[in-house]
Amino acid sequence: MSESPDRRYGPAPLPQPRGPVSAALLDALRRTPHDLPAGLGDGLDPADPLTDEDLQLTLFCCYELHYRGWRGVDEGWEWQPSLLVLRAYAERRFEAAVRALAGPLPAALPGGVPAALADVVAADDGPSLAGYLQRRASLAQFREFVTHRSIYHLREADPHSWALPRLGGPAKAALVEIQMDEYGNGRLDRMHAELFRVTLGRLGLDTGYAAHLDAVPAITLATNNLMSLLGLHRRLRGALLGHLAAYEMTSSLPNRRYGNGLRRLGLDEVATRFYDEHVEADAVHEQIAAHDMCGGLVRLEPGLAPDVLFGAAAALAVDRLFAAHLLDAWAAGRTSLRSTAPIRIALRDRPRPGELPAAVA
């Protein structure tokens, strides 16, 4: 059984169900490992897998067994065969939807992968969530954004680290270089997940691992589930590196805008350090990811070039849906979070009076 006295690092408690399949799975996880009902996955056949709450939570619950696990859940569930059958059923629908969303990809010779990645990034025409957060977002909206992103940033780098044992040569060396920065070069206080935890606390939000899981919608889970899907399947290792490359190639400017948005709202350099750190680090990572990591991989395994480009296109496409969800909700004057699960505020993490603007809607 997995127990942890420190909420910051997990395991997290099981979330609330979002449909019949996730309800059945969560009920099963509270007991010792056993066979799930045959055909349980038949209930996961939505019109849009990317935004279906039941499917995305089911996948997230299965995937988390490979990360920190769940509080009070028997660790034997990680490789329980019938759970893996359910996960595979959901994954097939999810992957098909992501491939359809990513659309046709540019042709690329192995030597041209860095240039093709740049073309994929340049063709991205998603809404400017970073621009809105920099210039217009209220403090309440920025806190929503941070709540969404907490699901990823509190385990930042972990999904892409699944690639390390599956690589050799220059691609592995380049990935290690990137990941060392993400993990603070061995210093806890410089780990990006820890820097983000400080930002959460500065905004008066619960800093516990996955503390806001019940509050975020399916599209937020989908951005995280995509990384886990690519990371947990060796056949998708090229796509995983393409996904990371897209993140690194599109990170520096948005993070500058996020930091400026917090400064506009009166937050200090402690609150913005997470974003400020990414401005410099990701400007360097961009070149390493495209040329040394992805280029190095395809030089050794030319057949993985299409996978690399798919991973990059998929990352950008799913993030476009995520950005549109937030901006559409705010334009309509409503929350971008699930109305049934408000964000958790930890009073012990609140800054002292005067450290935040007075009103938080």
Could you read off the pLDDT of 59-117 as tens digits, one per residue? 999 999 999 999 999 999 999 999 999 999 999 999 999 999 999 887 656 569 999 99
343 domain-assigned: yes
Q: Which tens digit of pLDDT belongs to each residue from 274-297?
A: 999 988 776 778 999 999 999 999
14 domain-assigned: no
Burial class (CB within 10 angstroms; exposed 0-12, middle 13-18, buried 19+) of 174: buried
DSSP per residue over 148-195, as a string? HHHHHHTTTTHHHHTTGGG--HHHHHHHHHHHHHHTGGG-GGG-HHHH
Question: Do 95 and 176 sit in the same domain of this protein?
Answer: no
Q: Which tens digit of pLDDT belongs to each residue from 174-207?
A: 999 999 999 999 999 999 999 999 999 999 999 9
Three-class secondary structure of residue 280 per DSSP: helix
Query: What pLDDT, on the 0 to 100 scale, is given for residue 349?
Result: 41
Nearest-angstrom CA–CA distance, 199 and 19: 32
Task: Specify the number of domains making up the chain.
Answer: 2
242 domain-assigned: yes
Interaxial angle between packed helices 81-102 and 218-231, expressed in degrees from 0 to 180 and rounded to the nearest 10:
110
Question: Do 134 and 276 sit in the same domain of this protein?
Answer: yes
Last residue of a domain, one of 101, 126, 149: 101
Bridge partners (DSSP) listed for residue 70: 12
1 domain-assigned: no
The total of other beta-carbon atoms located within 10 Å of residue 180's CB is: 12
Q: Percent helix, strand, coil in the chain (nearest 5)?
A: 65, 0, 35
Query: What pLDDT, on the 0 to 100 scale, is given for residue 345?
Result: 67
Question: Do 88 and 164 sit in the same domain of this protein?
Answer: no
327 domain-assigned: yes
Last residue of a domain, one of 54, 81, 101: 101
Query: What pLDDT, on the 0 to 100 scale, is given for residue 328?
Result: 97
Q: What is the mean pLDDT of the chain?
A: 91
Question: Do 120 and 269 sit in the same domain of this protein?
Answer: yes
Burial class (CB within 10 angstroms; exposed 0-12, middle 13-18, buried 19+) of 187: exposed
Question: Do 174 and 323 sit in the same domain of this protein?
Answer: yes
Cβ atoms of 240 and 171 within 8 Å: the answer is no
pLDDT at 352 over 80: no
The two counts, helices (H) then strands (E), for the chain are: 15, 0
- Band of pLDDT at residue 360, cut at 50, 70 and 90: very low
Question: Do 201 and 262 sit in the same domain of this protein?
Answer: yes
Cis amide leading into 110 (omega within 30): no
Last residue of a domain, one of 54, 83, 101: 101
Question: Do 161 and 59 sit in the same domain of this protein?
Answer: no
Question: Do 148 and 281 sit in the same domain of this protein?
Answer: yes
Question: Do 36 and 82 sit in the same domain of this protein?
Answer: yes
pTM above 0.75, yes or no: yes
Q: What is the CATH number of the domain that holds 289?
A: 1.20.910.10
pLDDT at 1 over 80: no
Range of the domain at 268: 107-349
Question: Do 317 and 222 sit in the same domain of this protein?
Answer: yes
126 domain-assigned: yes
Per cent of the chain over pLDDT 70 is 91
Query: What pLDDT, on the 0 to 100 scale, is given for residue 304?
Result: 95
Question: Do 123 and 30 sit in the same domain of this protein?
Answer: no
Question: Do 119 and 242 sit in the same domain of this protein?
Answer: yes
